[in-house]
Amino acid sequence: TLGLQTERSQFLLEGMPFRIFGGSMHYFRVPREYWEDRMLKMKACGLNTLTTYVPWNLHEQTRGKFDFSENLDLEAFLSLAAKNGLWVILRPGPYICSEWDLGGLPSWLLQDPEMQLRTTYKGFTEAVDAYFDHLMPIVVPLQYKRGGPIIAVQVENEYGSYAKDPNYMAYVKMALLSRGIVELLMTSDNKNGLSFGLVEGGECLREKQTPLVHFNSVFVLVQRDQPKMVMEYWTGWFDNWGGPHYVFDADEMVNTVASILKLGASINLYMFHGGTNFGFMNGALKTDEYKSDVTSYDYDAVLTEAGDYTSKFFKLRQLFSTIIGQPLPLPPMIESKASYGAILLHQYISLWDSTSAIQLLSPLQPIKSEFPVNMENLQLNDSSGQSYGYVLYETVIFGGGHLHSRDHVRDRAQVFVNTMYVGELDYNTVELSLPEGQGFRQLRLLVENRGRVNYGLALNEQRKGELCSLLLDCAWPFSYSLRHTAGWSAVPDYFVGPAFFRGRLWIEHQPQDTFLKLQGWEKGVVFVNGHNLGRYWKIGPQETLYLPGPWLWKGSNEIIIFEERTAGRIIQSVDIPYLGRTQYVD
Question: What is the pLDDT, as a whole number, of residue 472?
Answer: 54
Question: What is the pLDDT, as a whole number, of residue 444?
Answer: 93
Nearest Cα neighbor of 422 from 442, 449, 448 is 442
Arithmetic mean of pLDDT over the chain: 90
Nearest Cα neighbor of 46 from 342, 346, 386, 302 is 302
Q: Coil, strand, or helix at residue 526?
A: strand
List the catalytic residue out of 60, 156, 158, 183: 158
Task: List all residues 6 or more positions away from 574 whose beta carbon is below 8 Å from its beta carbon.
Answer: 339, 514, 515, 516, 517, 544
Query: Could you tell me the CA-to-CA distances from 572 to 196, 504, 557, 575 in Å, in that order?
Result: 50, 12, 14, 10
Question: What is the pLDDT, as a whole number, of residue 576?
Answer: 98
Q: Cα–Cα distance between 464 and 377 in angstroms, integer? A: 10
Q: What angle do the packed helices 311-324 and 250-262 form, to 10 degrees?
A: 20
pLDDT tens per residue across all 586 residues of the chain: 789 999 888 999 999 999 999 999 999 999 999 999 999 999 999 999 999 999 999 999 999 999 999 999 999 999 999 999 999 999 999 999 999 999 999 999 999 999 999 999 999 999 999 999 999 999 999 999 999 999 999 999 999 888 889 999 999 999 999 999 999 999 888 765 555 555 555 444 544 332 222 233 343 334 557 788 999 999 999 999 999 999 999 999 999 999 999 999 999 999 999 999 999 999 999 988 999 999 999 999 999 999 999 999 999 999 999 999 999 999 999 999 999 999 999 999 999 888 765 554 445 678 888 888 999 999 988 999 999 999 999 999 888 888 998 889 999 999 999 999 999 999 999 999 999 888 899 999 999 999 999 999 999 999 999 876 555 555 656 554 565 566 899 998 877 779 999 999 999 999 999 999 999 999 999 999 999 999 999 999 999 999 999 999 999 999 999 999 988 899 999 999 999 999 998 7
Question: What is the pLDDT, as a whole number, of residue 363?
Answer: 52
Pairing relationship of beta strands 245-247 and 582-584 according to DSSP bridges:
parallel
List the catalytic residue out of 232, 424, 466, 543: 232
Q: Is 232 a catalytic residue?
A: yes
Question: What is the pLDDT, as a whole number, of residue 288?
Answer: 87
Query: Could you tell me the CA-to-CA distances from 127 to 56, 264, 446 in Å, in that order?
Result: 11, 41, 31
Q: Is 158 a catalytic residue?
A: yes
CB 65 within 8 A of CB 386: no
Pairing relationship of beta strands 184-189 and 245-247 according to DSSP bridges:
unpaired
CB 334 within 8 A of CB 308: yes
pTM summary value: 0.94
CB 252 within 8 A of CB 316: no
Containing 128, the helix (H) or strand (E) segment is helix 122-139
Q: Cα–Cα distance between 577 and 548 in angstroms, integer? A: 12
Nearest Cα neighbor of 63 from 452, 383, 279, 462 is 383
CB 305 within 8 A of CB 38: no
Q: Cα–Cα distance between 185 and 427 in angstroms, integer? A: 41
Question: Domains in the chain and their CATH numbers?
Answer: 4-324 (3.20.20.80), 341-347+488-584 (2.60.120.260), 363-478 (2.60.120.260)
Q: Coil, strand, or helix at residue 212?
A: helix
CB 506 within 8 A of CB 559: no
